[in-house]
A and B are shown apart, each in its own frame.
Chain A
């Protein structure tokens, strides 16, 4: 087929990119080769807009065994055991086909983990949807929510990995751009990690797992473009997942790895056979020669182009030691899976593809994997934001703080997400020490005395107002979540969800956010070991808030963390970190401004990272001293919402707060704060003082009521814990059933 300018454009390649291809090949590419370049050089696979900025992220540290560049990051947890973990997005497919889009998102990240030889032991998900009530698109948005949640449940539950936590936020900007970011974590021995680095000239290249079909062709390119009216026609680009097959693939791969016959292994994710071959070859500095006639196929008459670009799920490519193929085949036969030698490792560094007896593609591996264009896209403008910096002339004072609190705890962002997480098996494998609803999820590693705490966080509102500070706040929040369970943060992964990077004001958001993450992750000593960038989250020109999502993991000795909810009547309640500050400008970023005032202005909360870290050290010291009966960190919704979340047992509290503008004091979202109920107030205060952290005694736990008064003894809020619990727990199912 003749390569025309139209064809190049259809493949989302620019003229200069095409010229570069011609230079690298020293000739015109064939149609098949054009297809291969188009996926490998897509934004999704090549990170061409973000690469130069991702270099700013800290990637090394004392726990890091493997940083970015492999299928997942790896950190050591002691005793010869390691954890592999990463986050990945499946945003575009989840909009087009929510159930399969989300399901295959889970499948993809699980394969990234067990490709490393690690058995997945936990999944979390970070979700963003459009409003589920009150807009013309709400009905559609509710269907997307239901589809995404059941897709995640379908895949994770059947596979047998617990979905232990996550977050879910609703904003108008996600209405046609839902975000589905899935985090997975697995465990293995350090000396049993596998890498995707082909080696050994003459070694066989073996295809294992599902047969190749026409599904998912150009999925990676789809994920690298804005949505238009025609995008619905892209449904066939979304792959279909089979979690049962993935479970078999997991067991077979782990068993096959134990034979010692496997040299390298990589899953076929985005760009399937193409990316797995050329990336394994490129990493090992060798060539890969494959014959498509040998590839197990589920459809007849597929072209080389289709086979190379298919994103059929549940497939792996591996390199085995020559002469030991049968050991590998035997394991896959046992699990009823295809395993076929389709090629060989060669010395010439090329990806050479044969089909029907002819060579249909011959490309130097580095050209695909490493020579992809890198762009320093213009970003010397202010990050895009339409919200005013100054507060409105008069912010209406609340007339009924109790009613406001009930509205807040019942609002979609703040209400209980039980409707979501009860659809996930969060206990399978019997390691879940703290599951959904906890500040951080905690999963024990049975083979050791260590547990892994993990938290996902991102705040699009904060980042829209200030991408740099918003990103730092997400890092701080994750680390605070971990500290509240007693864990020490050790490493991070991130998913950068942004709009169209070709718009300088969007690119500026990305750059600011990455630099914020870099600064905070360096400060909190949580190097980034991998992650994902999802750009072009725009539909018909409307983009999302800049939404970097952080996944941070921490280590702790295996023990049951203190619960979020109050446990003992009469216990003293402290606010570790103090009341914090929230002026009018920073009040505009709060959930109160969103839910009660229906506005957004100003700046995100002010973060003092050094102080934040001292708060973390203090809470860990309190936990270690055995003083903590319950602990819950403050975040969206501020002090009053956090208190409400502690009232889910029958117990409430009698609280005194300083005089001031009550809505600022109660609903301001200053960071670096944790609610702690303690066995011994005096000892606790001594520890807080030692760390230089404010720790006002704010009240006492009592039965059945939440009362908040100021120092003049003026009652600000008075509610029964049953009313709070009712508002918190029944809201989401009710909103989702709305007609």
Chain B
């Protein structure tokens, strides 16, 4: 039993997610190629960062049509856990698994930087091991991470406690400083920051561990 890390042509944080789960958290992860029609025997899906299919169109706009995304949608509909990181978040939004859109950063430039996030809810399989209000230092690395949704959607996200993280210093102009959101059923989370890059003291922060640990403990079979 394990986590499946989806590999699209152009994914480039796939190994990082794999390494964090296997080596930093001593869990189990395997790669799933983008043209797989089914996910095999897994308990959670990670959509990693990168530039799926080059992202020359809108980020994630091509990836949503890949064969594996049909399987991921079905997996999510059946209640499976799906975590989309960075490009993974963009794909989830394009695929309609999460609301809103990710626009170019306010300054129209790529930003790579460690940012501070505030944990907004612990009522989810991705944040259960965190404390409400807990501040996490986690890097971002994206050109199109400005979260956008209409006011009604934003109100709804807040009313339903579906904002998972907010930026303390909004780096990209995201609406209401939103860095990560949950699906209505709370089994799908998308976030622009990279928790897998904050799992090792050598990388300068281990604040990403809590997110991945939450996910692993929600799926006990996942740990070795």
Contact = CB atoms under 8 A, between A and B. Distances in A.
Contacts of B197: 427, 430
Given A242-B54, A444-B202, A160 B112 contact: no
B141 A429 contact: no
B40 interface: no
Given A247-B10, A335-B9, A158 B54 contact: yes
B189 interface: no
Contacts of A423: 109-112
Contacts of B202: 433, 444, 558-560
A428 B54 contact: no
Interface of B: 9-10, 12-13, 15-16, 19-20, 49-51, 53-56, 109-113, 139, 141, 143, 194, 196-197, 199-203
Contacts of B200: 430
A332 interface: no
A430 B19 CA distance: 9
21 contacts: A153-B110, A158-B10, A160-B51, A243-B51, A244-B53, A247-B9, A422-B111, A423-B111, A423-B112, A424-B110, A427-B112, A428-B16, A429-B16, A430-B16, A430-B19, A430-B20, A430-B200, A432-B203, A433-B202, A559-B202, A560-B201
A335 B8 CA distance: 10
A422 B113 contact: yes
A421 B112 CA distance: 8
A601 interface: no
Given A244-B54, A430-B203, A425 B112 contact: yes
Contacts of B54: 158, 242-245
A247 B12 contact: yes
B111 to A, nearest CB: 6
Contacts of B141: 157, 425, 427-428
A87 to B, nearest CB: 22
Nearest to B194: A427
Interface in A224-256: 242-245, 247-248
B69 to A, nearest CB: 17
A63 B197 CA distance: 31
Contacts of B143: 157
A421 B114 CA distance: 13
Which label, helix, strand, loop or mixed, suits the secondary structure of the B interface? mixed
A150 interface: yes
A161 B111 CA distance: 15
Contact of B15 (A248, A425, A429, A432): A429
B203 A427 contact: yes
A85 interface: no
Nearest to A160: B12
B111 A244 contact: no
A423 B108 CA distance: 10
A150 B109 contact: yes
Contacts of B199: 430
A286 B141 CA distance: 47
Contact of A158 (B13, B19, B20, B51): B51
Nearest to A421: B112
Contacts of B55: 158, 244
A426 interface: yes
A426 B112 contact: yes
A153 B141 CA distance: 11
B56 A427 contact: no
Interface in A244-302: 244-245, 247-248
Contacts of B203: 427, 430, 432-433
A162 to B, nearest CB: 9
A384 to B, nearest CB: 39
Contacts of A56: none
Interface in A198-247: 242-245, 247
Using C-beta atoms within 8 Å of the partner chain, give the interface range for chain A. 20 to 34
A714 to B, nearest CB: 41
A503 interface: no
Given A248-B9, A430-B203, A425 B16 contact: no
A124 to B, nearest CB: 15
Interface string A142-167: 00000000100100011110000000
A427 B9 contact: no
A446 interface: yes
A283 to B, nearest CB: 32
A432 B112 CA distance: 13
A559 B200 CA distance: 12
Interface string A116-160: 000000000000000000000000000000000010010001111
Contacts of A158: 10, 12, 51, 54-55
A336 interface: yes
Nearest to A157: B110
A560 B15 CA distance: 22
Contacts of A336: 9
A343 to B, nearest CB: 28
Greatest chain A CB density within 10 A among B9, B109, B111, B201 is at B9
Interface string A443-455: 0101000000000
A605 B1 CA distance: 63
A335 B16 CA distance: 21
B136 to A, nearest CB: 16
Given A157-B141, A427-B112, A428-B12, 5 more contacts: A150-B110, A160-B51, A247-B10, A423-B111, A425-B112
B199 to A, nearest CB: 8
Nearest to B201: A560
B19, B196, B199, B203: residue with the most chain A Cβ atoms closer than 10 Å: B203
A160 B50 contact: yes
Nearest to B199: A430
A244 B10 contact: yes
A730 to B, nearest CB: 15
Contact of B19 (A159, A243, A421, A446): A446
B99 to A, nearest CB: 27
A244 B51 contact: yes
Contacts of B109: 150, 422-423
Contacts of A242: 54
A446 B200 CA distance: 12
Contacts of A428: 12-13, 16, 49, 141
Contact of A424 (B16, B56, B112, B196): B112
Contacts of B16: 428-430
Q: Which of A160, A247, A446 lies at the interface centre, i.e. has the most chain B CB atoms within 10 A of its CB?
A: A160
Most buried by A among B55, B110, B194: B110
A421 B113 CA distance: 9
B110 A244 contact: no
6 closest Cβ contacts across the A-B interface?
A160-B12, A244-B54, A425-B141, A158-B51, A430-B16, A423-B110
B100 to A, nearest CB: 23
Contacts of A157: 51, 110, 141, 143
A242 B20 CA distance: 29
A425 B16 CA distance: 14
B123 to A, nearest CB: 29
Contacts of A247: 9-10, 12, 51
A590 B89 CA distance: 49
Contacts of A244: 9-10, 51, 53-56
A198 B43 CA distance: 48
